[in-house]
Amino acid sequence: MSKVLVPLAMGFEEIEAMSIIDILRRAEVEVVIAGLGKKQVVGAHGVRVQTDAHIEDMNSSDFDMIVLPGGLPGATNLQKDDTVQKLLKEFDEQNKEIGAICAAPIALESAGVLSENYTYYPSFEANIREEGYTASQDVVSDKNIMTSRGPGTALEFGLAIVAKLCGAEKSAEIKSQLLL
C-alpha cells in the first residue's frame, strides 16, 4: 500500500485538500495529514481540520509521495516552512513523487524541485517562473513532479495521483464511483 504525506498550513484551500485526501483514501492509499505548527489547521474559508501529526515529526523515508494543497495564504506558508522545504528536497533526491496544486508549486520552486513542465493557478505568473508553464492541461506530470491548476481540477488531480500510485484501473474504478 502506498503512503502519502499531505501537509496542511493555515489558509489551505479546502476543496483541494479534502478532495485529494478523500480520493486517495477511497483508493486505499494511506494518507497522513500533517499540520504546520498546530494539529488543528484552519483553511482559507474557515474550515477547521484536525491533523494526524505535526510536520516536524515527518520523515521522507516513510512515504511514497508528498502532495501540497494550494490556497492563500496556505501555499505561501508551505513555501516559507523550513521543514516542508527540507522534505521536498529529500523527496526529490530520493526520486519520490511530489504533487502540488493551485498556488502550491511556489513551494516546489523555492525548494528547487519544480519540474521543467508544470501548471498552477492562472494569474499567479508573477510569483513563479513562466518557462515550462502550460495553461492547456489541468494536470501536468513531468518526471516525479505532478501539478494541477486549482480547486476545479482537484478531483482530476486526485485521480491522476491514484493512477500513478495504484494504476489506471484503480483510478478508473474510483472515477466511476464518483460518477465522473
Question: Catalytic positions, please?
Answer: 102
Residue type, 67: V
∠136-144-72 over CA atoms, to 5°? 60
The b/e string for 8-26 (b: 16+ C-beta within 10 A; e otherwise) is bbbbbbbbbbbbbbbbbeb
Q: Which residues, 6+ apart, have CB-to-CB distance to 33 below 8 Å?
A: 6, 8, 21, 49, 51, 52, 53
Given a contact cutoff of 8 angstroms between Cβ atoms, the answer to whether 121 and 65 are in contact is no
